Structure 1
Amino acid sequence: MSLAPRLDLRQSQSLVMTPQLRQAIKLLQSSNLEVTAFVEEELERNPLLERDERPLPGPDDGHRLDPLPAPPEAPDAHAAATSEALPQENAGPLDADWSNVYDSGGYESPYGRGGRADFGEDLSGIEDLAAGTRSLREHLGEQVRLTFGDAADRLIAAQMVALVDPAGRLAVSDAMIAEAMGCELAKVAAVRARMQRLDPVGMFCRDLRECLAVQLAEQNRLDPAMQALLDNLEMLARRDRAGLLQACGVDAEDLADMIAELRRLDPKPGASFDAPPAPAIVPDVLMRRGEDGGWILELNPETMPRVLVNRGFYARCQVGARGKEDKVFLAEKLQSANWLLKSLEQRASTIIKVAQEIVRRQDAFFRHGVEHLRPLILRDIAEEVQMHESTVSRVTANKYIATPRGIFELKYFFTTAIAGTRGGEQHSAEAVRWRIRGMVAAEDPDAVLSDDAIVEKLRQEGVDIARRTVAKYREALRIPSSVQRKREKAVPA
């Protein structure tokens, strides 16, 4: 064994994740909102990038409106001053009453002075402005100031407003509030009882039973039978119809009316105030039917960031560069800007290429519905578009397509396959779930379908599925078991 030093030459291949490559991968799997935010940061960071504000080319439908007449030229000031003729435009009687004429304040809109975009005669007023939203605590605080005249009561009420949770519950006991405020327990209980009748009714309660009881008492519907129903909410959750009939002492028709009345109440009175608005989904791909019966796909221009490289500014800065550091800085920014444009272009082309292949394979879904959704995996698309499965996974993440059947995430069209009976055609798991939901919705209340019965029906339709798979799909769809559905449908509510 020799220990002498020596030199060896080896050749190997390795993938180096450069910052530019990581940036391209990040842009590929980001949503349109994340890409827009990233581009805005780059516009602030890179002086060679600028926003492309040129108008988008619109479709030319061949129907053009006649051009508007050109506005008259402004008369020469000297000629107007020396002319003996009086101006005739907009002339009116000298004794006209101008006191009731609306003045737009010197602003002239593109639709005429003082007019509206829809050519209506009535002018916009302050009532057309959107009102600002108020939070739950602001809404309650205003009522507290109007309800309680005593300063001590207002202080206790303000403490309760500060402790209430977004759903409207007050989990802190009266004894803890009384000890913290240094007041009597009876005074805190009296204030809380009055606070429960504020708008919305049912706030500041400890649990669901008390919340529903307060709302029923406000409607003068809290009778002994309804109180017994509130005391046995766990039996109502189990659909124990026989136990509820015995506990409430009413017949089946009265019990159904009581349950329907409970369902009309609000279990979380405060949840409707501070709930954030649902984010709007802006589709990345637009889909429409073509004249030949096919589908036309195009990228949504509103989601595609439009940036340009200002090469003229780069040339001027290159000429005025004073040292090596300035030139290196400009070269780095130019390379970063060019790579960003290339990454955005590659992202757009990859999205439209993958979306086209998905639409081609799921053509039956767009024409006939969910029942015709075909099983599809990432490998099928990757082999067709000649990309890696990880690339297809990144492209379909957080991307949406607007179709005649609604807006869907591209991930929605990838479902596992369920084998068919006797070697028949495979079925999509999503289509099978949809079929199970339809079976349960159309079942006879007197003959509720069990999981075994659903399996038998699906096998008759050519779907080879196990009972545990049906139970898993049913639980994912939040469909109760056959026993619970039988109890629920036995009580007409």
Structure 2
Amino acid sequence: MALGPRLDIRQSQSLVMTPQLQQAIKLLALSNLEIEAFVAAELEKNPLLETGGDDTLPLADGIDRVEDRPALAAETGSADDLIAQGLGAADSPLDVDHGASTFIDDGPADRMTGAGGGMDMGPGGGSYAEDAPDFDSFAAPAASLHEHLMDQARAALSGMDLVIATQLIGQIDEAGYLEANLLQTAHALGVPLHDVERVLGVIHGFDPTGVGARSLSECLALQAKEADRYDPCMARLLANLDLLAKGALPHLRRICGVDEEDMADMIAELRAYDPKPGLRFSQSSAAPVTPDLFVRPTREGWAIEINSATLPRLLINRSYYVELASGPQNRTSKAWLADCLASANWLVKALDQRQKTIIKVASEILKQQEAFFREGVAHLKPLTLRAVADAIGMHESTVSRVTSNKYLACPRGLYELKYFFTSGVSATGGDGAVSAEAVKSHIKALIGAEDPQAILSDDTLVDLLRAKGMDIARRTVAKYREAMGIGSSVQRRRQKALKGKAA
């Protein structure tokens, strides 16, 4: 066989994802609010895209809504061929069943103008207009803990004392505790240690009471002094908080030299104090979660709808396209205009396919977990992504993208779609499995109803759960209990004993 260069022609097949298909898959994993930001960016780049208003209003001349056009034949070619022909709407970027009924946004969410989307739960069924003033935006920002302390320091101190106070206040964490080493601070500022201690004593008198403390016992002692309850007995109690945490009340009574009644009063006094006084000035606020889906019961069953309040109505202005196309153009401008039309067609189609896919996945979740929506978390069943994917004829990765970062609102509350996918434990009767969330719900209910005089051990919980048809091991009960932040039987016995003493 001769060695040398030569040319060969080979035919092969490979799966290639076009940029448009990658974009469509990316859209699946985005929430409605992220989609809104993505569409806003596309509106700035593409002059052929516009946002529409109410569906009841007549469309402007030349503006075409994608759902108003007749369906195009899917066999016209590949994605790239369709885009080149301006027929990007005919391709199927996702594994969506085109035989299914077309999703139409004609539910309550489409007719509501409230900020929360569909299903107005307010009294009287009223809703707020989208352009209503946001009165929260007029509120002045709350002062931070450091600003609040510095205002007091400027009023009480001056000169070098104010410099020391500024240094100390800058090292107070958000809970109100001082993290600085006083000796190091004195060396850094070149001042005597007693001056730093004296300024710290002034800070201890600032509002909120207990700020600037270096330990929990010092924080509570400052508040006890403010309430004029800091006597030798209280001082000994604060010096032995570890014994109080362990519930060693007889030992504490001997150390403090008090009887049971006085000890109960002292514990009740401690419970009234704030262990983290600085947190009341915390500016961090929990961001509200906007649901992507609404589920509500109807006479015929269950209704599922997309929260259209967070989704802009995307339109293609074809009259503007015709106007631009009929004007003078060179090769570059003509290619740019064709690319804008193809991109707009594809984006509208991808968003439509995204809605259909989300509805399809949510419908199957509702079908699988209908007992949860009717009866509660105790009836939640084990469910996997593969089970949903096989039922609706999609790939498991597609279901995973659909359920990520999306929330469902129903009469029982607001849940992430991932919440409905949970592992399970075997049932004692051999008739299937029980969801891990359902087991946690039963454990929480049993512990919440336990008698303070008869605390349930993990072994007792195992027996009670097996009586309910849940075959679960003791270590699993302990794992679920710790995951919910519930202490052991010994810890709960001590906590309830302390609560009884304080009461």
- TM-aligned CA deviation for residue 10 of structure 1: 4.3
Q: Which of residues 210, 216, 223 in structure 2 aligns to 1:208? A: 216
Q: What is the rounded CA distance, in whole Å, between the counterparts of 1:15 and 1:229 in structure 2?
A: 72
Report if the CA contact (8 A) 2:20-2:346 is conserved: yes
Report if the CA contact (8 A) 2:204-2:212 is conserved: yes
Give 2:27's aligned residue: 27
Give 1:99's aligned residue: none
Residues 155-194 of structure 1 aligned to structure 2 (within 5 Å) = 155-194=163-202
Equivalent position amino acid for 1:370 in 2: V
Gaps of 5+ in 1: 61-116, 119-125
Q: What is the rounded CA distance, in whole Å, between the counterparts of 1:254 and 1:19 in structure 2?
A: 74
* Distance verdict in 2 for CA 1:324–1:243, change over 3 Å: farther
Report if the CA contact (8 A) 2:142-2:283 is conserved: no
Q: Which of residues 219, 236, 240 in structure 2 aligns to 1:232? A: 240
Q: Secondary structure at the match of 2:340?
A: helix
Q: Secondary structure at the match of 2:50?
A: strand
Q: What is the rounded CA distance, in whole Å, between the counterparts of 2:276 and 2:320 in structure 1?
A: 59
RMSD, aligned CA: 2.7
Q: Which of residues 289, 293, 296 in structure 2 aligns to 1:285? A: 293
* Distance verdict in 2 for CA 1:415–1:253, change over 3 Å: farther
Give 2:440's aligned residue: 433
* Distance verdict in 2 for CA 1:369–1:41, change over 3 Å: same
Q: Number of aligned residue pairs: give it.
A: 429
Q: Which of residues 218, 232, 246 in structure 1 aligns to 2:254? A: 246
Report if the CA contact (8 A) 1:241-1:487 is conserved: no
- TM-aligned CA deviation for residue 315 of structure 1: 2.4
Q: Which of residues 173, 188, 196 in structure 1 aligns to 2:204? A: 196
Gaps of 5+ in 2: 58-105, 109-126, 129-134
- TM-aligned CA deviation for residue 284 of structure 1: 0.8
Q: What is the rounded CA distance, in whole Å, between the counterparts of 1:415 and 1:221 in structure 2?
A: 51
Q: What is the rounded CA distance, in whole Å, between the counterparts of 2:334 and 2:30 in structure 1?
A: 33
* Distance verdict in 2 for CA 1:39–1:239, change over 3 Å: farther
- TM-aligned CA deviation for residue 129 of structure 1: 5.9
Give 1:147's aligned residue: 156
Determine what percentage of the aligned residue pairs are the same residue. 52
Give 2:455's aligned residue: 448
Q: Secondary structure at the match of 1:288?
A: strand
Deviations 1:145-194 (A, max 9, x none): 2223x333223222223232222222112222222333332222122111
Deviations 1:225-265 (A, max 9, x none): 22222222223333333433333333344333333332322
Give 2:16's aligned residue: 16
Q: Secondary structure at the match of 1:198?
A: coil
TM-score (norm 1): 0.80
Residue 381, structure 1, aligned to residue 388, structure 2 = yes
Deviations 1:392-439 (A, max 9, x none): 111111111111111111111111121111413421110011101111
Give 1:349's aligned residue: 356
- TM-aligned CA deviation for residue 7 of structure 1: 5.6
Q: What is the rounded CA distance, in whole Å, between the counterparts of 1:485 and 1:261 in structure 2?
A: 21
* Distance verdict in 2 for CA 1:26–1:264, change over 3 Å: farther
Q: What is the rounded CA distance, in whole Å, between the counterparts of 1:56 and 1:433 in structure 2?
A: 48
Residue 479, structure 1, aligned to residue 486, structure 2 = yes
Report if the CA contact (8 A) 2:48-2:341 is conserved: yes
Report if the CA contact (8 A) 1:436-1:474 is conserved: yes
Q: What is the rounded CA distance, in whole Å, between the counterparts of 1:385 and 1:191 in structure 2?
A: 69
Deviations 1:80-115 (A, max 9, x none): xxxxxxxxxxxxxxxxxxxxxxxxxxxxxxxxxxxx
Q: What is the rounded CA distance, in whole Å, between the counterparts of 1:32 and 1:259 in structure 2?
A: 49
Report if the CA contact (8 A) 2:379-2:438 is conserved: yes
* Distance verdict in 2 for CA 1:197–1:321, change over 3 Å: farther
* Distance verdict in 2 for CA 1:455–1:9, change over 3 Å: farther
Equivalent position amino acid for 1:308 in 2: L
Q: Secondary structure at the match of 1:270?
A: helix
Q: What is the rounded CA distance, in whole Å, between the counterparts of 1:338 and 1:236 in structure 2?
A: 68
- Structure number with greater Rg is 1
Q: Secondary structure at the match of 1:423?
A: coil
Equivalent position amino acid for 1:415 in 2: T
